[in-house]
Structure 1
Amino acid sequence: MPESRFRVVSENGSSMASPKSRKLTVHHSEERKERELDRISGAAAPKTVDVSLKQIVPLLIDAEKSNRTWLADFADDTVRIDSDLYDVLLAYQQYRQSEAA
């Protein structure tokens, strides 16, 4: 997975804090802010990264289980997946719904 621009720091700014006192902090450069404004305004295409499901699914599951508020920031974003995977997910969704009934 590509190196993250995010950094985990404690409330006092130390990156060596215990897990309970750490939080995710995003540091933006002026260049990044300008790129983001261009993307929002439609003047630039969104930046994308190719990653495997094996890399992101465990992180997404953990973020959901931990009620990470940042996950909601991306709730309406679209994700491009292979059509075969989409078919499998739809079949699984239907299976789960019939199992619950």
Structure 2
Amino acid sequence: MVHINSDNKKAKKILQNIAETLAANGAYIDPDIEIRCQNNSISAHSDQNLKIRPAFQIPHELLLPYDLFEIGIKKDQFILKSTAPKASPVQTKL
């Protein structure tokens, strides 16, 4: 399970859900990675030398095709909405 360090409880829950959904559908996140969400910025950190192994492996079918989603901000909320029925159920959940 990926370690998430966040100053925002709601953001932490969303990031945990994304990581769990990815892992349940074949993605790999190196267990030495720490995802940080601080001051509205997200970053990935590790004390390990990840040059010799991948930090993330996400199957192509889990990636979100930009042309199938509408992305925006409304009242300080990040909005991601599927605009086409071609998105898979997992892509829509992510």
**TM superposition score normalised by structure 1:** 0.25
User: Greater strand percent: which structure?
Assistant: 2
Structure whose residues are more often helix by fraction: 1
Higher relative contact order (CA 8 A, sep 6+): 2
* TM-score normalised by L of structure 2: 0.26
